[in-house]
């Protein structure tokens, strides 16, 4: 039996230099870019209620999230959670490099840099209370395809990795599917018999099917043990009925929406391309990829092969569907940036492709890739920090607003500690107009955009409790929905108006939304957001 020191020495020899570089590059770049969030305690609207949260999200299908987030405790500790998340990302970068068989050191650093700066990660930092679990899910999603590629019966451990990834956060399924497609394309480009390639390609399919079945089986067992059912949140309960429950017409409509969303977000999502520099970098990367593909096609005579055009066509048709695979499972999902991390692969895969298959003597292509990727990494890093700056300002504005509001509440005649409070929770934009100057950058970065952190009465309750040290007894939304239409409430001014708080029949009414909105106009916004 070896001593700990001897074991470390043994493992050190087995760790490839490419893995070390990918890991270190991801950790260093990740820390440099995201340190402002890690050293702050800035919640978003969801984080207000998650200062301590055991992450038991089984009703959302996330049966492993409780374990995945347990390493950092269930308290919101941005530094610790952020560090663990970045370490998981470092492992993910090493796994990507191994799967893509990248040897070039510059390319490895660029891949790691893109992975840890992509704005989807910044949005995830807004939900830092669950971030370490999500990054573990991402790592497992990549590990699944690495197992298939590198192990003889890798589809078996790969299926386990995929099941636990889905059991933590289902959105990273798209990461696995895109890498499976690219892995099959890599098989087609390598030497070997058609039979051997086909058998290996089938292992990706086996891994996916077994992984989903294992995930769903474990989910059903745990739901029965806990006596729960899937929630309606984000349409996750639609898994029960299957993707064909709406018939062929519904399926075709879903596929159509998948394509529309793919191109809309790719071209106009304000994430991949959000300024002239990023547009130029992405364009350059696309042109270099097409150049290398054309060169390989001519050199290897692929243009004469029927299978080449079939694979190319299937990849072009299948990738938008693979990217938006979550819409196939839950068509009514609110598809925000946290769920779009897979788009970073459309930057990473071209860089890997050019590095691996491009002509080594083509110095221009190498410099072009370096320039494009460096511009994108820099642009993403700046974008992330613009978002962090706005989130900090949202917190400051919310703090200032709540100090004034709490003081007004406590000064209202008839107020006493614990008095029932009726309020919607929306901040009216007439009294407090929008002052966010980052909208052009953060418009699609959920959790980062906007002016304040408050959308519901519960948001007020949590913020005032955790940051102002006071307790408010805010009535539930169903009670408030009745009070909302009362003459007394409608006649009140909006805060900070003089008549914005008053006690009616033992209940403290607090009106914060716009003065000029009629109940009919606010029904679809305020009441809904109060639920």
Q: pLDDT, tens digit, for every residue of 490-513?
A: 888 889 988 899 999 899 999 988
Which residues on neighbouring strands pair with residue 502, listed in sequence order?
Answer: 509
Q: How far apart are CA 217 and CA 295, in angstroms?
A: 47
Mean pLDDT of 90-102: 96
Residue 271: phi and psi, rounded to 5, are: -125, -65
Which residues on neighbouring strands pair with residue 508, listed in sequence order?
Answer: 421, 503
Q: How far apart are CA 348 and CA 427, in angstroms?
A: 41
Confidence of residue 435 (pLDDT cuts 50, 70, 90): confident
pLDDT score for 521: 43
Confidence of residue 247 (pLDDT cuts 50, 70, 90): low
**Would you say residue 405 has pLDDT above 80?**
yes
Mean pLDDT of 411-417: 93
Write the burial class of residue 406 (CB in 10 Å: 0-12 exposed, 13-18 middle, 19+ buried).
Answer: middle
pLDDT score for 176: 96
What mean pLDDT, rounded, does the chain reach? 88
**Residues with Cβ within 8 Å of residue 179, at least 6 apart in sequence:** 99, 142, 145, 345
Q: pLDDT, tens digit, for every residue of 331-387?
A: 777 788 999 999 999 999 999 999 988 877 678 888 999 999 999 999 999 999 999
Mean pLDDT of 474-478: 86
- Cis amide prior to 496 (ω within 30 degrees): yes
Q: Please, are residues 468 and 402 in contact by the beta-carbon 8 Å criterion?
A: yes
Residue 453: phi and psi, rounded to 5, are: -100, 5
Which residues on neighbouring strands pair with residue 509, listed in sequence order?
Answer: 422, 502
Q: pLDDT, tens digit, for every residue of 66-84?
A: 999 998 989 999 999 999 9
Taking CA 23 as the corner, what is the angle to CA 18 and CA 25, rounded to the nearest 5 degrees?
Answer: 95
Confidence of residue 12 (pLDDT cuts 50, 70, 90): confident
Strands 501-504 and 473-474: unpaired
Which of helix, strand or coil describes residue 231? coil
**Residues with Cβ within 8 Å of residue 69, at least 6 apart in sequence:** 55, 129, 130, 132, 133
Which of helix, strand or coil describes residue 267? helix
Confidence of residue 236 (pLDDT cuts 50, 70, 90): low
**Would you say residue 60 has pLDDT above 70?**
yes
**Would you say residue 29 has pLDDT above 60?**
yes
Q: How far apart are CA 430 and CA 461, in angstroms?
A: 23
**Would you say residue 518 has pLDDT above 50?**
no
pLDDT score for 233: 59
Higher-confidence position of 487 and 208: 208
Q: What would the two tokens of residue 243 be?
A: 């993707």
Q: pLDDT, tens digit, for every residue of 42-54?
A: 888 888 888 888 8
pLDDT score for 212: 94
Higher-confidence position of 526 and 184: 184
Mean pLDDT of 85-102: 96
Own/partner pairs, 77-84, CB within 8 angstroms, 24+ separation: 78/37, 78/38, 78/39, 78/40, 78/41, 78/42, 78/128, 79/38, 79/39, 81/128, 81/129, 81/131, 81/132, 82/34, 82/37, 82/38, 82/125, 82/128, 82/131, 83/38, 84/132, 84/135
Share of the chain above pLDDT 90, in %: 56
Q: What would the two tokens of residue 245 be?
A: 């429950």
**Would you say residue 530 has pLDDT above 70?**
no
Residue 455: phi and psi, rounded to 5, are: -130, -20
Confidence of residue 235 (pLDDT cuts 50, 70, 90): low
Residue 452: phi and psi, rounded to 5, are: -130, 170
pLDDT score for 320: 93
Mean pLDDT of 146-151: 95
Q: Please, are residues 347 and 83 in contact by the beta-carbon 8 Å criterion?
A: no
Which of helix, strand or coil describes residue 499? coil
Confidence of residue 527 (pLDDT cuts 50, 70, 90): very low
């Amino acid at each position: 039996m070896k001593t700990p020191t001897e074991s470390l020495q043994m493992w050190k020899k087995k760790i490839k230099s490419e893995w070390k570089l990918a890991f270190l590059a991801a950790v260093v770049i990740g820390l440099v870019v995201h340190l402002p969030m890690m050293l702050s305690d800035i919640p978003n609207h969801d984080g207000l209620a998650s200062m301590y949260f055991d992450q038991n999200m089984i009703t959302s299908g996330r049966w492993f999230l409780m374990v995945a987030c347990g390493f950092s405790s269930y308290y919101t500790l941005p530094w610790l959670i952020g560090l663990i998340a970045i370490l998981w990302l470092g492992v993910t970068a090493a796994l990507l490099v191994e799967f893509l068989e990248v040897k070039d050191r510059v390319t490895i650093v660029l891949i790691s840099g893109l992975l840890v700066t992509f704005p989807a990660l910044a949005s995830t930092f807004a939900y830092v209370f669950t971030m370490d679990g999500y990054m573990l899910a991402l790592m497992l999603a990549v590990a699944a395809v690495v197992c298939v590629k590198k192990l003889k019966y890798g589809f078996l451990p790969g299926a386990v990795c995929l099941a636990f990834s889905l059991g933590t956060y289902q959105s990273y399924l798209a990461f696995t599917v895109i890498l499976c497609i690219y892995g099959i394309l890599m098989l087609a480009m390598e030497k070997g018999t058609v039979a051997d390639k086909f058998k290996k390609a089938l292992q990706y399919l086996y891994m996916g099917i077994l992984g989903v079945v294992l995930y769903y089986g474990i989910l059903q067992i745990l739901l029965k043990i806990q006596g729960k059912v899937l929630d309606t949140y984000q349409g996750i309960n639609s898994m029960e009925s299957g993707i064909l429950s709406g018939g062929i017409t519904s399926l075709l409509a879903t596929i159509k929406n998948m394509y529309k969303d793919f191109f809309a977000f790719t071209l106009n999502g304000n994430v991949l391309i959000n300024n002239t520099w990023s547009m130029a970098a992405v364009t350059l990367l696309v042109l270099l990829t097409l150049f290398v593909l054309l060169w390989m096609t001519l050199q290897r005579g692929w243009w004469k092969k029927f299978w080449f055009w079939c694979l190319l066509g299937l990849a072009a048709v299948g990738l938008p569907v693979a990217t938006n695979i979550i819409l196939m499972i839950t068509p009514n999902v609110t598809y925000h940036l946290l769920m779009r991390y897979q788009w970073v692969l459309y930057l990473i895969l071209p860089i890997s492709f050019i590095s691996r298959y491009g002509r080594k003597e083509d110095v221009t292509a190498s410099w072009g890739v370096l320039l494009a990727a460096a511009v994108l990494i820099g642009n993403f890093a700046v974008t992330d920090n613009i978002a962090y700056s706005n989130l900090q300002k949202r917190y400051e504005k919310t703090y200032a607003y709540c100090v004034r509001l709490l003081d007004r509440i406590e000064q209202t005649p008839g107020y006493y500690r614990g008095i029932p409070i009726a309020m919607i929770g929306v901040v009216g934009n007439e009294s407090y107009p929008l002052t966010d100057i980052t909208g052009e950058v953060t418009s699609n970065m959920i959790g980062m955009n906007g002016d304040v952190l408050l959308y519901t009465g519960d948001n007020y309750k949590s913020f005032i409790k955790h940051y102002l040290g006071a307790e408010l007894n805010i009535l539930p939304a169903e009670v408030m929905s009745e009070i909302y239409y009362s003459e007394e409430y409608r006649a009140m001014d909006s805060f900070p108006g003089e008549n914005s708080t008053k006690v009616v029949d033992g209940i403290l009414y607090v009106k914060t939304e716009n003065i000029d909105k009629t109940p009919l106009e606010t029904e679809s916004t305020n009441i809904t957001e109060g639920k």
